[in-house]
Amino acid sequence: MTSPPDRHDEDASLIARSLDRPEVFGELYHRHAAGIHRYVTRRLGDDAADDITSDTFLIAFRTRTRYDLTRSNALPWLYGIAANLIGRRRRSEVRALKAMARTGLDPVAESWTDRSDSRVSGQAAHRSLAGALAGLPARDRHVLLLTAWADLTYQGVAEALSIPVGTVRSRLNRARKKVRSALGGSDPTSYEASQSQEAATHG
């Protein structure tokens, strides 16, 4: 699970100060742009990542007056904006995943199995996984990939997508079942981080 960067000011404090000093908002970009860019690259590739990352922070800057300052970590908010922008290109994402399912050659989908269980390897697994991801409803794919690729907790995903935590759980469970079935029982989303965040949620 990704922790907020070690910093003197929390994100919320920085956003609050940026209301009077807009230039301060640039620090939020320096803190989080790389992570957002990596996530979008995994979803849509490099070409789209530059544009969506820029648009994410532009929208964040323009809407910062509505930010909930009780939330010290702005990452879920930023990932939520990015997810909305990715959603507008969902046809491109699904096309890329279907191409990967046919050929096994799409580098965007390959990044998923970099973190998979060692049993999930090889081109056939890549194709099966890409096909499973392409077949997920967009809302379930968002929850699954925000958990697996952005390392957000269930609460973080809920904040990002403005849905209840219970809905995050149900969508994630549904998505994992489909992915597990496509991979013959292997589940590349069953990381130790998932287990620890589950324990933390119940703890």
Query: How does pLDDT run across 19-44, given as a tens digit for each residue?
Result: 999 999 999 999 999 999 999 988 88
Per-residue CA distances from 149 to 12, 138, 201 (Å): 24, 15, 19
pTM over 0.95: no
Question: Cα-atom radius of gyration of the chain, to the nearest Å?
Answer: 17
Largest CA distance in the chain: 55
Query: Residues near 151 by Cβ (< 8 Å), separated by ≥ 6?
Result: 1, 2, 193
35: tokens are 């992570």
pLDDT digits (tens, 9 = 90+) for 95-142: 777 766 666 555 444 444 444 444 334 455 567 777 788 888 889 989
